[in-house]
Structure 1
Amino acid sequence: MIITDFRTKFKKKFRNGVKYLYENYAKIRDQKGVTDYRVSIETGIPKSTFSEWKSGRSKPKTEKLKILADYFGVSIEYFLE
């Protein structure tokens, strides 16, 4: 049920654009006082991935959102709000 709800929110967010997702990522990144480089090093997510999300060239995969959620101590849904 939780996975189904997440997928529904995830698909809806993509219809509205990935930009909101990146904005939520950037907001929490700035609040925590870290850079894309540091997040990249500590999570294993390539720094270029964040640039691709920001520009809308790619959509985040669920696995990467899970890694970021764990890293920042938030739920995956945080990025979809």
Structure 2
Amino acid sequence: MIYDNIRAEAKKKGYTIRDIERALFYSNGSLRKWNKRAPSDKLTQVADFLQVDPMKLLGRK
């Protein structure tokens, strides 16, 4: 769920998952592992990169 939300937001902004991983120096495929849980510090970094609220990436409004 979290991964799908990140992917959807990235697509809206014109990024790929790999673009995010490279920009934040994450290993290839690391975001794919975030299905239901994500490290809060890294989720915040991704949210900042995409300029969205971290709660949106968690699927909360």
TM-score (norm 1): 0.62
For CA contacts below 8 A with separation 6 or more, give which structure has more relative contact order.
2
Q: How many residues get paired?
A: 59
Mind listing any 5+ residue stretches in structure 1 that lack a counterpart? 1-19
Mind listing any 5+ residue stretches in structure 2 that lack a counterpart? none
CA root-mean-square deviation: 1.7
- Find the structure with the greater CA-based Rg: 1
More helix by share: 1
TM-score (norm 2): 0.78
Moved over 6 A (4+): none
Percentage of pairs with the same residue: 20
